[in-house]
């Protein structure tokens, strides 16, 4: 069963190549990496910085080099967590709905392959495309910054995992909506809504005071405990990069649980679907 | 022994309000060309989709090779050309066949030998490395057939195989289907082109509103009982013919010396032949009157 599985995975990658989304993603990552390669200049004497310039601007005040590097990497982490995931979802939003189109899904199901295997391979293909791109961006910027500064911040590399897990959770949700609606734009909009409402749900204690009925607080609590906690996961990636104390590691387990449960629901929906 | 068996099969939508397939039972014998006919919404495509496990039946049983249709192992032994299939436009035929060959779990070594054969078989030689987006509808259809033949299927499901294909292409596909049949392949076909169905089918099923209206051979459907077309040789017409025309009530047909003979049975047919021969009228041809499958179909679905 590995051969059909790999065939679907390969075609998913090929499809994103054909749509130029993969190349666009790689190009943006390369531009970011090149910016750091050419725009960041550090003059280091005996392990201490004597001058730092970024994009041609000399930083006048004395900055701790290690702090400067981790903060710069923290900025990339936040950029990746917000913009990177946003773009990744956009790039992969049509993967599931396009598979479900009449004339395409027929060709797959009529092969000696189980439905769960078809969906899993397609879903993994989407994650693989994003994982390759995000890993490429983090690794390349990490190498450039570390080689230039001599500071090898492993926390920045670890931030890759919450970012990928956050994307995986959102992509699983997008797959869920895609399976039900077969509508790429709708699944994308609803997934973006999770990202948008996540910081609000994190602050739900403040919102309770504004609500007239108790039912709304139950609703907010329900959404908070069910949906992946994007705001908390973003904060967690920053903490990993900045080497701050991690107190909310449970959000990772929550996201993994969300992926597992919703992933299984997706398989059941796909298994029972009529085409 | 039937290769496909369907018993009491039903598929309903909208909580039972719409019955796409309604308590349908049939059996398909190995090595036959089996065709489904019916107006739009008759349930033909739904039936094929149930057999291929694309759609789940609401009730009843369906089996292929004695296995329930939801067993994916069946798909190793069948080929399917879906209506309006859409291969990835960015691939060429070689890549499409390699991909779907791998999807069929075929060995790369086997595929390497098989792909050139099916490409040649469907007449796409020389187009192997041209992107599909440049293909005409007919070429896409040929590629669809090639993909369905990769695993040497024992049953080939064809949903509108000649749709969008020009007359020459249709003849080629017809020849291809007959060749596959001669090789022992069972063809399960759904087509709107009744003239095609008439030419190649062994068994025809006419469906309407999810039910079978008629099932039989093309000859059973098109033959008109006790009616014959009579062609007489024009240089051997006898003056006695006028009398015979009125006594046998021969009806003139389009063409020279062509008549329609209606008899009460074989005995009366033979008496008519005897009368004609006694009057020294030469019979050039005598063929049972047939109507086209299309006429029969329209009569049946219009009932």
Which parts of chain A sit beneath pLDDT 50?
none
Within its chain, how far is the Cα of A100 from the centroid? 24
What are the structure tokens assigned to B72, written together? 């994916």
Q: Is B88 on the interface with A (CB under 8 A)?
A: yes
Both tokens of residue B113?
């030998």
CA distance A12 to chain B (A): 11
Instruction: Say if the Cβ atoms of B82 and A113 lie within 8 Å.
Output: no
What is residue A182's predicted lDDT score, i.e. its pLDDT? 87
Given a contact cutoff of 8 angstroms between Cβ atoms, the answer to whether B37 and B194 are in contact is: yes
| pLDDT confidence of residue B280 | 85
Tell me, what DSSP letter sits at residue A48?
E
Cα distance between residue B43 and residue B157, in whole Å: 15
Q: For A202, what's the count of Cα atoms within 13 Å in the CB-facing half-sphere? A: 16
Distance from CA of B70 to the nearest CA of A (A): 9
B76 in contact with A at a CB cutoff of 8 Å? Answer: yes
The predicted structure's pLDDT at residue A68: 82
Closest-CA distance, A114 to chain B, in angstroms, reads: 6
ipTM: 0.81
Output the 3-class SS for chain B. CEEEEEEEEEEEECCCCEEEEEEEEEEEECCCEEEEECCCCCCHHHHHHHHCCCCCCCEEEEEECCEECCCHHHHHCEEEECCCCCCCCCCCHHHHHHHHHHHCCCCHHHHHHHHHHHHHHCCCCCCCCCCHHHCCHHHHHHHHHHHHHCCCCCEEEEECCCCCCCHHHHHHHHHHHHHHHHCCCEEEEECCCHHHHHHHCCEEEEEECCEEEEEECHHHHHEEEEEEEEEECHHHCCCCHHHHHHHCCCEECCCCCEEEEECCCHHHHHHHHHHHHHCCCCEEEEEEEECCHHHHHHHHHHC
DSSP label at residue A112: S
pLDDT by residue, tens only, chain B of 303 residues: 899 999 999 999 988 889 999 999 999 999 999 999 999 889 999 999 999 999 999 999 999 999 999 999 999 999 999 888 999 999 999 999 999 999 999 999 999 999 999 999 888 999 999 999 999 888 898 899 999 999 999 999 999 888 777 888 888 888 888 888 998 999 999 988 888 888 899 999 999 999 999 999 998 898 888 899 999 886 666 677 888 888 888 888 888 888 999 888 889 999 999 998 888 888 999 988 888 888 899 989 887
**Beta-carbon pairs below 8 A across chains A and B:** 83
User: Which residues in chain B touch residue A15, judged by CB atoms under 8 angstroms apart?
Assistant: 88, 90
Residue contact A11–B99, C-beta within 8 A: yes
Per-residue model confidence (pLDDT) at position B223: 85
What are B212-233's pLDDT values in tens digits?
999 999 988 988 888 999 998 8
Which chain A residues are closer than 8 Å to B89 by Cβ? 18
- pLDDT tens readout for residues B165-178: 788 888 888 888 88
Contact flag B53-A18 (C-beta cutoff 8 Å): no
What is the token pair recorded at A186? 């709708």
Q: Identify whether the C-beta of residue B171 lies closer than 8 Å to the C-beta of residue B179.
A: no
CA distance A98 to chain B (A): 10
The reported pTM is 0.85
pLDDT at B10: 96
At A42 the pLDDT is: 64
Report whether A27 contacts A20 (CB < 8 A): no
Chosen from A104, A110, A114 to mutate, greatest number of chain B CBs within 10 A: A110
Cα–Cα separations (whole angstroms), residue B92 to A5, A108, B132, B133, B163:
21, 18, 5, 9, 22
Residues 6+ apart with CB under 8 A from B147: A107, B79, B81, B87, B96, B97, B100, B118
Question: What pLDDT score was predicted for residue A139?
Answer: 94
Test A109 with B90 for CB contact under 8 angstroms: no
| CA B56 – CA B20 distance, rounded (Å) | 12
With a CB cutoff of 8 Å and minimum separation 6, the contacts of B200 are B33, B35, B174, B177, B178, B181, B187
Instruction: Residue A244: count other Cβ atoms within 10 Å of its Cβ.
Output: 14
Exposure string of A164-180, with b = 16+ CB inside 10 Å and e = fewer, is bbbbbbbbbbbbbbbbe
**A109–B105 C-beta distance less than 8 A:** no
The residue among B50, B74, B82, B133 with the most chain A CBs within 10 A of its CB, best to mutate, is B82
Contact B54 A1 (CB under 8 A): no
How many residues in total does chain A contain? 275
Nearest to B75 among A10, A15, A111 (CB): A111
Give the best residue of B78, B98, B103 to mutate against chain A (max A CB count within 10 A).
Answer: B103
Judged by CB atoms closer than 8 Å, whether chains meet at B75 and A3 is answered as: no
Question: How many CA atoms lie within 13 Å of A255's alpha carbon, on the beta-carbon side?
Answer: 26
pLDDT of residue B119: 94
Q: How far apart are CA B290 and CA B99, in angstroms?
A: 47
**What integer best gives the mean pLDDT of chain A?**
88
List all residues of chain B from 171 to 210 with a beta carbon under 8 Å from chain A. Answer: none
Chain A touched by B164 (CB under 8 Å): no
Kind and range of the H or E run holding A44: strand A40-45
The DSSP bridge partners found for residue B37 are B206
- Residue B157's closest chain A neighbor by CA? A110
**pLDDT at position A53, please?**
65
Contacts of B73 in chain A (CB under 8 A): 112
**B54: nearest CA in chain A?**
A275
Backbone angles phi, psi at B188, to 5 degrees: -115, 110
């Amino acid at each position: 069963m590995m051969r059909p599985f790999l065939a679907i995975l390969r075609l998913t990658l090929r499809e994103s190549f054909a749509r130029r989304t993969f190349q666009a993603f790689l190009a943006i990552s390369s531009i970011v990496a090149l910016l750091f390669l050419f725009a960041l200049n550090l003059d280091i004497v005996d392990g201490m910085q004597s001058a730092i310039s970024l994009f041609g601007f000399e930083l006048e005040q004395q900055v701790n080099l290690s702090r400067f590097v981790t903060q710069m990497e923290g900025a990339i982490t936040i950029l990746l967590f917000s913009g990177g995931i946003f773009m990744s979802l956009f790039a992969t939003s049509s993967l599931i709905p396009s598979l479900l189109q009449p004339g395409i899904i027929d060709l797959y199901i009529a092969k000696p392959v189980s439905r769960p295997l078809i969906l899993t391979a397609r879903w993994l293909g989407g994650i693989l495309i994003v994982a390759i791109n995000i890993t490429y961006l983090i690794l390349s910027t990490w190498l450039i910054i570390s080689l230039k500064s001599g500071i090898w911040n492993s926390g920045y590399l670890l931030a890759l995992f919450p970012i990928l897990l956050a994307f995986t959770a959102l992509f699983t949700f997008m797959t869920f909506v895609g399976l039900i609606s077969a509508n790429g734009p709708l699944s994308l909009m609803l997934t973006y809504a999770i990202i948008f409402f996540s910081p609000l749900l994190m602050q739900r204690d403040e919102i309770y005071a504004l609500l007239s009925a108790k039912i709304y607080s139950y609703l907010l609590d329900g959404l908070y405990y069910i949906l992946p906690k994007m705001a908390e996961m973003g904060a967690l990636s920053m903490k990993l990069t900045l080497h701050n104390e991690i107190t909310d590691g449970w959000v990772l387990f929550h996201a993994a649980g969300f992926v597992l449960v919703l992933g299984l629901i997706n398989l059941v929906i796909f298994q029972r679907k009529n085409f | 022994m039937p290769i496909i068996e369907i018993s009491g099969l039903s598929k309903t939508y909208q909580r039972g309000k719409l019955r796409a397939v309604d308590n349908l039972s049939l059996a398909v014998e190995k090595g036959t060309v089996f065709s489904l006919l019916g107006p739009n919404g008759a349930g033909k495509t739904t039936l094929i989709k149930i057999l291929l496990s694309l759609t789940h039946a609401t009730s009843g049983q369906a089996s292929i090779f004695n296995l329930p249709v939801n067993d994916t192992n069946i798909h190793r032994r069948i080929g399917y050309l879906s209506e309006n299939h859409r291969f990835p436009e960015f691939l060429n035929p070689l890549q499409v066949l390699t991909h779907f060959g791998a999807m069929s779990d075929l060995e790369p070594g086997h595929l390497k030998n098989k792909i050139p054969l099916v490409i040649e078989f469907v007449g796409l030689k020389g187009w192997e490395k041209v992107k599909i987006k440049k293909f005409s509808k007919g070429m896409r259809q040929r590629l669809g057939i090639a993909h369905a033949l990769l695993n040497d299927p024992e049953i080939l499901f064809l949903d509108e195989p000649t749709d969008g294909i020009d007359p020459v292409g249709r003849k080629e596909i017809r020849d291809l289907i007959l060749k596959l049949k001669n090789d022992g392949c069972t063809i399960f076909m759904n087509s709107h082109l009744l003239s095609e169905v008439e030419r190649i089918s062994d068994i025809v099923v006419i469906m309407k509103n999810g039910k079978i209206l008629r099932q039989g051979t093309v000859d059973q459907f098109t033959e008109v009982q006790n009616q014959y077309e009579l062609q007489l040789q024009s240089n051997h017409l006898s003056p006695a013919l006028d009398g015979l025309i009125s006594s046998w009530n021969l009806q003139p047909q389009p063409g020279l010396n062509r008549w329609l003979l209606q008899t009460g049975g074989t005995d009366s047919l033979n008496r008519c032949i005897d009368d004609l021969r006694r009057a020294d009228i030469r019979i050039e041809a005598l063929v049972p009157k047939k109507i086209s499958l299309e006429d029969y179909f329209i009569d049946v679905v219009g009932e």
